[in-house]
Amino acid sequence: MSDQTNQGLNRAEVRKEKKKNMFLNLAIGIVALLIVVISASMFIGGGDDDPVAVDNDNEAEENLDVNENEEEANEQNNGENEIEESAPENNDDSGIEEESDNTGADSGSADIDDGSSSNNEGTANDDDSSAETAEVTEGDWGPIGTVQEEPFTAVYDRDHVNWDEMVRALEYAMNRSEDEMIIEWLGNGGDHQTAEGTVSLRENRSEAYQITLSWVENEGWMPVTKEELSTNPYQ
């Protein structure tokens, strides 16, 4: 009886051990399956992240290229604007230089006339009208006398007696002899009864005067006004 009892107990214990081993194996299998599942999910998730990171890097590089292209275009536009703005300044400078050259040419183009002025009757000189006057003098002058007969007609020829009488009237207005003066211009003052002359001093040619003469019947030329010019238009 005791042997049978012992055998029954041994069989029960063996069964318990088998069940325990089955539970352990099952638990180990479940744990292993969980490990595999977790590893697989981590691997799959890491694979998804990599393309996103690559895409972000590509987008960043594209944005940098676009920004660089825009900066280069802006620099080119700025350079073209600077060239266009500087062009007008160069044109203005060249215009100033041309104007100064022309002014110099005009100021030096007048011929010195020491008594052999233009003989064209009724011709007025434009430089006389453009010259600025510093002072106008109306002296108490009288006619210088004449050998010419009436009706009087002015002749602007230096070999004519009228020329000599006009020079005498200029000397009278200047209170100087002809040797002390340079007659820059002498001619018609607007009609046959008026003459005008521009005179400078030989000792200082920049000191110039414009003198107006008026014809007095049977008495000759008479100085009317003497204007001191600020500049000599013939110098």
Residue 81 has pLDDT above 80, yes or no: no
Q: In what order do the strands lie in the sheet with 181-188?
A: 133-137, 220-229, 208-216, 194-201, 181-188
Range name among 42-46, 97-101, 211-215, 217-221 with the lowest pLDDT average: 97-101
- Compute the average pLDDT of residues 51-63: 53
For 200, list phi and psi in degrees, rounded to 5: -125, 165
- Does 121 have pLDDT greater than 50? no
Query: Which DSSP helix (H) or strand (E) runs through 180?
Result: none
Residue ranges in the chain assigned as alpha helix (H): 2-107, 126-130, 161-174
Q: What is the mean pLDDT of residues 182-198?
A: 95
Encoded tokens for 164: 């000599």
pLDDT-wise least confident of 2-6, 95-99, 175-179, 213-217: 95-99
pTM of the model: 0.45
Specify whether the CB–CB gap between 68 and 60 falls below 8 A: no
35-50 pLDDT, tens digit each: 888 888 787 765 544 4
pLDDT at 73: 64
CA distance 94 to 98: 6
CA-CA-CA-CA dihedral for 170, 176, 179, 181, to nearest 10: -60
At 154-176, the pLDDT tens digits run: 999 999 999 999 999 999 999 99
Asked if 217 contacts 152 with a C-beta cutoff of 8 angstroms, the reply is yes
Of 223 and 101, more confident: 223
DSSP states along 82-144: HHHHHHHHHHHHHHHHHHHHHHHHHHT-PPP-SS-----TT---HHHHHSPEEEEE-------
The confidence score (pLDDT) of residue 17 equals: 80
Domain limits of the chain? 1-109, 126-229
